Amino acid sequence: MRLLSLMVMLLCCAACNSQNSIKPTKGENAATVEDQRPNYKYDPPAVEGEFEPFDTTTEYWRSILTAQEFNILREDGTERSFTSPLNKEKRAGIFTCGGCGLPLFASATKFNSGTGWPSFYEPIHPNYIKEDVDTRYGMRRVEVSCARCDGHQGHVFPDGPEPTGLRYCINGASLDFVPMEDFPEAQDK
């Protein structure tokens, strides 16, 4: 757990140091919303478990997200199974919300569930996700969303591996992956 905390802290420091060099790359109008983009899009919370909620307009989300990302994050859609490159991602790193950048899952908790979606047995911090009962499609499931921007991520099921027994089945299109190799500070520790 200490290694995971260290990884998150190093990620936070590196993200803060490189914030100004990151440019928006999503959506047709990304360049026009650069000044409107909140600074913490790339800054994980300074205090573990704490963050400021992010509420903005539908137009903002449409301007920074692709059509598929918008459908999943803002309209509770689902990508087709086995289509996300993140399903096969095995490098050390952090999976962040594709909408606001909140760090949601660490690669150390990722496992191959065989379902076709990236799966994790626990979030980085329980405060970073929101869980709601989802009764759509005649099923009772637990929906998982980003607690900061309310972006739909996927669902959690009670059939995962130890130590939690949970399977967070997450849409790859709702996540961004930040590999630890991008942060030399992490390699020195």
Query: Taking residues 134-148, what's their average pLDDT?
Result: 84
58-106 pLDDT per residue, tens: 999 999 999 999 999 999 999 999 999 999 999 999 999 999 999 999 9
d(CA 37, CA 182): 23
For residue 169, indicate whether it is catalytic: yes
**From 97, 100, 146, 169, the catalytic residue:** 169
Please tell me the CATH code under which domain 2-188 is placed.
Answer: 2.170.150.20
pLDDT at 145: 96
